[in-house]
A and B are shown apart, each in its own frame.
Chain A
Amino acid sequence: MSEWLSPEEWSAVTLSLKVATTAMVGSVVPGIAVAMLLARGRFWGRHLLDAVVHLPLILPPVAVGYVLLLTFGRRGPVGAFLAEHFGIVFSFRWTGAALACAIMGFPLLVRAIRLSIEAVDRKLERAGETLGAHPIFVFLLVTLPLILPGILAGMVLSFAKAMGEFGATITFVSNIPGETQTLPSAIYTFTQVPGGESGALRLTLVSVLLSLAALWGSEWLARRVRRRLSVG
């Protein structure tokens, strides 16, 4: 494959995989927490939180990237704080691409998990309480295994979204080969230069293959888990 793809193309593919994996893994725990809050929480501002979480789904991705640049950029309030105290820099780094992808995929992740939480039979959790389980153990031993299919589905959606994310990424971290040039950015770059068609085509093919593999993999996993969880 390394002969079929040029070193630049290859680096775009591996970078995209790294960015998408980081985005997916990093957003799982916050995704479960927010989904729990939205599905079960009864607090003031729940609708506001719901709207904020879903915002990246409806906003132009470029706008999301710009907001990220304003807040997480070197001079942005959060970005400056993180850089100063923890040495974490997002702007024009692959980590920034991962952050942009995580935020763009977050609504999809939360939605999938939330639906599976809402489908959990509350009696199973109540039974846990009557059997002596602290609510934390009820969550870990009962709720979490039951919503696993939803979590997996959400993770795949988040990964797929990250693999295809373009607008927010390019706005926030630009298009630096080897650092922030992900698959979509590379394809875009190829289409902008004369004679780049074959490179664009090759990378498009790679995207299709990666997406299909992720989809099949998740289907297979979800089927296995669902079979284990079915009651009847």
Chain B
Amino acid sequence: MANVSIRNIRKSFGSVAIIKGVDVDIDDGEFVILVGPSGCGKSTLLRMIAGLEDITDGEIRIGPRVVNDVPPKDRDIAMVFQNYALYPHMTVADNMAFSLKLKGTPQAEKTKRVQDAAASLGLLPLLDRYPRQLSGGQRQRVAMGRAIVRDPQVFLFDEPLSNLDAKLRVQMRAEIKELHQRLKTTTVYVTHDQIEAMTMADKIVVMHDGIVEQIGAPLELYDRPANRFVAGFIGSPAMNFLDGVLTDGGLRLPSGAVLSLDGQPALPAGSKATYGVRPEHLQIVPAGTPGAIPAEVAVVEPTGSDTTVIAKAEGGNLTIVVRDRVALRPGEAVALQPVARQVHLFDERGQRVAGL
């Protein structure tokens, strides 16, 4: 096991900068997830850690060693690819034993290590099969098994669950997390799915457009997003945003309605600002309630455990999630009351405003 240190990493393809100076510290044994929309540079960064992509500038260390010029085979990593990259001409056992075969490991030890990994992943009955005879989930497990058998310093996962159906994805998510808790190997995991990031990571690195927007523990990002991008990216359904102008003790919307703020924002009155509130922090109150946002119910989506309501308000649609089953009809007039303690405020540049 080892820590991974990424220092001021840059990557350009010709004149196009893909990664524009990224710093991340990954502790020994930590599960770190790189998350962001497609094109943010997260997969490129992972491939740079793996050594599959040249580093334009900056430094990557695995343990104490700078690996910028170390070929992938000598980095002591194992990578799990999105489409699994299993060898079609080898059985499950041979796929898993691939790294040991290269090392010239004695047959007895090879068999034992493959058997151990296969047992932990429930693959024992499948060892003699070929990848084409396996389901998507089984292939995913074999790809993980192949990485585990290598016993690397660092595991790298490149969107490993994207090809699985929703149900299997939830199951494999738990399996990967459990695997990490058991092996405690440093893991870097790339996904575009913020739910995966929230549920699995010790630490999340939110990337956007080649830079790091915020690094932190999942709930830290959820509770205190550093900027409007992170606020909108983390959390599902996404946070609601309302643009307005700061007044003393509140934010005035273009309609003239004033939303109250709990605390003293570190921004002078009269500044433009964006009010952010998560769907579960909006309460549906009777129409006409003072201090609440007037709205009209547009869509009601019951999911069973909770209900998502989309309401039309001035300035755009607002999403509300309520735990109770609500008897609302489209077209009904309501008012939405934000929980003032749970409100986020962002300045004109999208940065979080302190003081709330």
A residues apposed to B, CB below 8 Å: 121, 123-124, 126-134, 137, 141-142, 145-146, 228-232
In the complex, what residues of A have CB within 8 A of residue B75's CB?
130
Complex formed: what's the CA distance from A136 to B24 in Å?
Answer: 34
CB of B51 within 8 A of CB of A129, answer yes
CB of A127 within 8 A of CB of B73, answer no
Complex formed: what's the CA distance from A229 to B130 in Å?
Answer: 9
CB of A127 within 8 A of CB of B79, answer yes
Q: A123-B81, A137-B102, A231-B131 are in contact. Are A130 and B50 (CB under 8 A)?
A: yes
Complex formed: what's the CA distance from A15 to B98 in Å?
Answer: 45
Question: Which segment, of B83-91, B230-238, B322-330, B338-346, faces chain A?
Answer: B83-91
Contact partner of B73 (CB less than 8 A), chosen from A134, A142, A232, is A134
Closest Cβ–Cβ distance, residue A66 to chain B (whole Å): 44
CB of A131 within 8 A of CB of B87, answer no
In the complex, what residues of B have CB within 8 A of residue A133's CB?
73, 98-99, 102
Q: Is B77 an interface residue (CB 8 A)?
A: yes
In the complex, what residues of A have CB within 8 A of residue B132's CB?
230-232
CB of B99 within 8 A of CB of A132, answer yes
CB of B85 within 8 A of CB of A126, answer yes
Complex formed: what's the CA distance from A8 to B98 in Å?
Answer: 54
In the complex, what residues of B have CB within 8 A of residue A137's CB?
102
In the complex, what residues of B have CB within 8 A of residue A130's CB?
50-52, 72-73, 75, 77-79, 156
**Residue among B71, B87, B131 with most chain A CB within 10 A:** B87
Complex formed: what's the CA distance from A231 to B134 in Å?
Answer: 9
User: How many A-B residue contacts, CB cutoff 8 Å?
Assistant: 71
Closest Cβ–Cβ distance, residue B47 to chain A (whole Å): 8
Q: Is B150 an interface residue (CB 8 A)?
A: yes
In the complex, what residues of A have CB within 8 A of residue B79's CB?
126-127, 130
CB of A146 within 8 A of CB of B88, answer yes
Contact with A along B99-111 (1 / 0, CB 8 A): 1011100000000
Residue of B whose beta carbon sits closest to that of A142: B87
CB of B102 within 8 A of CB of A132, answer yes
CB of B73 within 8 A of CB of A229, answer no
Closest 5 CB pairs of A and B: A127-B85, A129-B72, A130-B79, A131-B99, A123-B85
Residue of B whose beta carbon sits closest to that of A134: B73
Q: A137-B102, A231-B132 are in contact. Are A132 and B85 (CB under 8 A)?
A: no
Contact with A along B218-252 (1 / 0, CB 8 A): 00000000000000000000000000000000000
In the complex, what residues of A have CB within 8 A of residue B71's CB?
129
Residue of A whose beta carbon sits closest to that of B77: A130
CB of B88 within 8 A of CB of A127, answer no
Q: List 16 A-B contacts (CB under 8 A).
A: A123-B83, A129-B72, A130-B51, A130-B77, A130-B78, A131-B98, A131-B99, A131-B146, A132-B150, A133-B98, A133-B99, A134-B102, A137-B102, A146-B89, A228-B88, A230-B132
Q: A126-B52, A230-B132, A231-B131 are in contact. Are A131 and B102 (CB under 8 A)?
A: yes
In the complex, what residues of B have CB within 8 A of residue A230's CB?
88, 132
Closest Cβ–Cβ distance, residue B189 to chain A (whole Å): 15
In the complex, what residues of A have CB within 8 A of residue B50's CB?
126, 130
